[in-house]
Amino acid sequence: MIEIKNLHATVNGTEILKGINLTVKKGEVHAIMGPNGSGKSTLSKIIAGHPAYEVTSGEILFEINGKMKNILELDPADRAKEGVFLGFQYPIEVPGVSNFTFLKESFNQICEHQGAEKLDDQAFLKLLRSKLKILEMNEAFLERSVNEGFSGGEKKKNEILQMAILNPRLSLLDETDSGLDIDALKIVAGGVNSLRSKFNATVLVTHYQRLLDYIIPDYVHVLYKGQIIKSGDKSLAHELEEKGYDWLTGEK
Amino acid sequence: MNHQNYLAMAEDYMLDTPLSALWAEEVRKKAMDSFKKSGFPTKSENYRFTNIEKFLTSMQWRTPHKDYDNRVIAEIVNYQAAYENLIVFVNGILAQELSRHPSIDVKPTYSALDSQESIWKSFTNFSQDELTYLHHSFLYEGVVIEAKKDTKSVVKILSLITDEGIFSHPTILVHAHKHSDLTLIEEAHAVCDKVYSQQIFSLVQVDAGAKVEHIQLVHENSTTNFLGTTEAKIQKDGNYRNITLHLGAALARKNLAIELLESGAHAESYALYGLKGKEHSDISIQILHKAADTTSAQIAKGILTDESRGIFTGKIHIFQEAQRVNSSQLNKNLILSQKAQAHSQPQLEIFADDVKCSHGSTTGQLQDDELFYFQTRGIPAEKARTLLAHAFGNEILMKIENKEIREEINTRVLKDFEAHLGH
C-alpha cells in the first residue's frame, strides 16, 4: 500500500529524517515508536503533505488505482482524497466552523473525487449517527465549532470520528493516546479497531506502549535520530517498555 | 468635479426641490455655506486614511431622477415577498409605487420635516463634519419613520441606482417610541455595473424601553462610492444595536455616533468589512456614555484580500458623570494577501473613575496549521480559505437577531467569499 524509500527531509534547513525505509501492506498495523524528537511526528506529517517540511531525497510510493505512485507532488488535500488520513496529535481548534459543516464538506469532497453521489444534510446525518455511536459521542458535538473548547479526550474522539467518516486506506495516527484517560483510550482504540479491514492499513505513532495493548500491531519500528534503528513484532514494544529507549540508543 | 461644482449642483437642485419647512431650508442653506468654506475633508484627523475627494471628483455627477428600467422591478419582487414593510429608493428618489408599509408610519422627508425640527436639532455629533455639509446641501429626499409605542415591526429600506453618475443623498429619520421594537435594514446594493455614489444620513431616536436593531448593508459593485452617517440616541433602558456591513464598494465610509443618555441604556455596535480588489472601507464609530449605569459592546472585524484597505477607528467616550459604565471594544483583522492593509485605531477617553472598559486589536493571517488540517480532510486550500474567512466573519453575522435576515445575508456573504477567495 505504501512504500517509503530512503526518505530525507529537512525543516528550516535542519535534517530531521535521514533515510527512512518503510513498507506497509494492506491489512497491517504498524507502530512507530521512539523517544521525543526522533522524527516520528515529522514522518507522519510528511506522508500527509505538511508544507513546512522539505523532502530533500527519496520517495513515498502509494497505491493509487492499483499502481504505486510517488505522492510527494500531490498537495495534502489530494493525498487525503486518495485515502491518506492523518490523525493529529494536537487537533486544531476552528472557531466558527461547526463540526457538522466540516465533516460534511470533507466527506463530500472525497465522494466527489471518487465519483460517488454527494449526500444531503439528512442522509449525511444518518451516516454520522451510526459513527457517533461507535465513539460514544453525543450528537451535540456536531453543532459545536470544530474542536473548540473540547477536552483532550473529545478532540481525539473527534479525530477518529473524522477517520470513520472518511474511511481512508491508510491511517496515520499521531500520538492518538496522549492526553487520554483509560476509558477514553478504550473507546478510541475500539473505534480504530472497528475500522480495520483487510483493505486498509494503520500506522500508529506513539511514545508509549500503552496504546498497543488495545490496538495490537503486526510490526513495531523504533525511530531514532531520523532513522529506523530496529524493527520487530509486538514483543519489541514490550521490551522497550521494560528496558527504555536507551537500551537501543545507547544513551543515558 | 471639485467642491465648487458640487455647490453649483446643489444650488440647481434646491431650485427644483423647495422644502416646506423653513427651518429645513435654513439647514440646507447653512450647509451650502459651510461646504463652500470647508470643501471636502482633506486635513481633518477623522479622514486621515481616506481622501474622499479623490474618490468623488473623478467624474461628473448628476442629481437624483425618477426614471428606472425593469431590472429594478425584478430585484424588488424578491424583497416584496420577504418584507412586510419595504421602502424603495431608485436613483435617489423615494419610489412610492414600489414601496409599501402597512404596519408602520412612513412619510417622505420633504413633507414630514415640518414636525421634526426639535428632534432633528437634537442630533449634533456630526454637525461640524464636512460630509454633513455635503449631505445637507442636498437635503430633500428620504423618509421619516415612526415606530409607535408598544409596536413591533420590521422595515427594509432598499436604495438602488440604475443610472450612470447619480449621486443621491437620502435622509432617514427614525423615531422608535416608548417600548417599541423595530428592526430596520438599510441596504444599498448593485443592480447594474454603472458608476454612482450614495450618501445616506440616518438619525435614530430610541425612546425609553424601546429596542432597535439597525442593520446597514453596503453590497455594491467595486466602482461605486458609499458615504453613510448614522447617529443614534438612547433614552432610559433603551436598546440600540447597529450592524454595519461593508461588503463591496470602491469607497465605503461610515460615521457612526451612538449616545447613551440615561441610565439603563444599552448599545451594541458590530461591523464587518469584507473587501477585495482595490476596495476601501473606513469605519469610524464613537460610543458616548453620557449617563451613569449604561453599557456598550463593540466588535469590528475585517477580512481583506487583494489590494484592499480597511480602516477602523473606534472611540469610547465616558463622560465624568457616567459612573458604573461597562464598555468593551474589539477590532480584529484577517489579512489574506500581501498587499491588503488594515489600520486599527482604538481610542478611549474616560473621565469617570468607576468604570469597566476593555479594548483590544489584532491583525493576522490564516494559520498554516488550520489550512493544513482542512487539507488533510480532503478540503482543498481555496475552499478551506473560504470556510475559514467566513467563520471569522460569522461572529458578526451571528449578531443579527432576526433569523431570516441573518440567513439571507449569510448566504450572500458566503457566495461572495466563494467567488473572491476561492482562488
ipTM, 2 decimals? 0.95
pLDDT of residue B399: 95
Question: Rg of chain B over CA atoms, in angstroms?
Answer: 21
Distance from C-alpha of B371 to C-alpha of A88, rounded to nearest angstrom:
13
The structural domains of chain B, with segments of one domain joined by +, span 3-262, 366-423
pLDDT class of B423 with cuts at 50, 70, 90: low
Q: Does B414 touch chain A (CB under 8 A)?
A: no
Distance from C-alpha of B167 to C-alpha of B192, rounded to nearest angstrom:
15
pLDDT class of B82 with cuts at 50, 70, 90: confident
Q: Does B419 touch chain A (CB under 8 A)?
A: no
Which residues of A are less than 8 Å from B369 in CB distance? 92
pLDDT at B295 over 60: yes
CA B215 to chain centre: 8
- Listed range (B175-189, B276-290, B306-320, B356-370) with the worst mean pLDDT: B356-370
- pLDDT, average across residues B326-355: 95
Distance from C-alpha of B276 to C-alpha of B262, rounded to nearest angstrom:
41
Greater confidence (A247 vs A71) lies with: A71
Helices (H), chain A: 40-48, 76-81, 99-113, 121-134, 152-166, 182-195, 234-243, 246-249
Distance from C-alpha of A9 to C-alpha of A21, rounded to nearest angstrom:
13
- pLDDT, average across residues A34-40: 88
pLDDT of residue A96: 86
pLDDT of residue B63: 87
Q: CB distance A80–B394 less than 8 Å? A: no
Which residues of B are less than 8 Å from A95 in CB distance? 391, 395
pLDDT of residue B192: 84
Phi-psi region of B234 (alpha: psi -120 to 50; beta: other; left: phi over 0): beta
pLDDT of residue A32: 95
pLDDT class of B421 with cuts at 50, 70, 90: confident
pLDDT at A160 over 70: yes
- pLDDT, average across residues B362-389: 93
pLDDT of residue A36: 85
Distance from C-alpha of B125 to C-alpha of B149, rounded to nearest angstrom:
26
Distance set, CA A64 to CA A56, A83, A114 (Å):
23, 9, 12
- pLDDT, average across residues A116-135: 90
Q: CB distance B375–A76 less than 8 Å? A: yes
Is the pTM higher than 0.95? The answer reads no
Q: Are B275 and B246 in contact (CB under 8 A)?
A: yes
pLDDT class of B33 with cuts at 50, 70, 90: very high
Q: CB distance A77–B381 less than 8 Å? A: yes
- pLDDT, average across residues A24-53: 93
Q: Does B373 touch chain A (CB under 8 A)?
A: yes
pLDDT at A251 over 70: no
> Which residue out of B368, B377, B390 would a mutagenesis test of the A interface target, given it has the greatest number of A Cβ atoms within 10 Å?
B377
pLDDT at B51 over 70: yes
pLDDT class of B420 with cuts at 50, 70, 90: confident
Shortest Cα–Cα distance, A236 to chain B (Å): 31
Give first-to-last CA distance, chain A, whole Å: 37
- Helix (H) / strand (E) element for B410: namely helix B403-421
Distance from C-alpha of B253 to C-alpha of B56, rounded to nearest angstrom:
12
**For A75, which of B368, B375, B395 is closest by C-beta distance?**
B375
Q: Are B247 and B413 in contact (CB under 8 A)?
A: yes
pLDDT at A252 over 60: no
- Listed range (A86-100, A238-252, B144-158, B255-269) with the worst mean pLDDT: A238-252
Grid coordinates belonging to B202:
440616518
CA nearest neighbour of B258 among B309, B201, B317, B207: B317
Compute the mean pLDDT over every residue in chain A, rounded to the nearest whole number: 91
Question: Closest chain A residue to B369 measured between Cα atoms?
Answer: A92
CA nearest neighbour of B370 among B382, B380, B391, B384: B384
Distance from C-alpha of A22 to C-alpha of A163, rounded to nearest angstrom:
23
Compute the mean pLDDT over every residue in chain B, rounded to the nearest whole number: 93
Helix (H, G, I), strand (E, B) or coil at A11: strand
Which residues of A are less than 8 Å from B388 in CB distance? 94, 97
pLDDT of residue A61: 96
Share of residues in chain A with pLDDT > 90 (%): 70
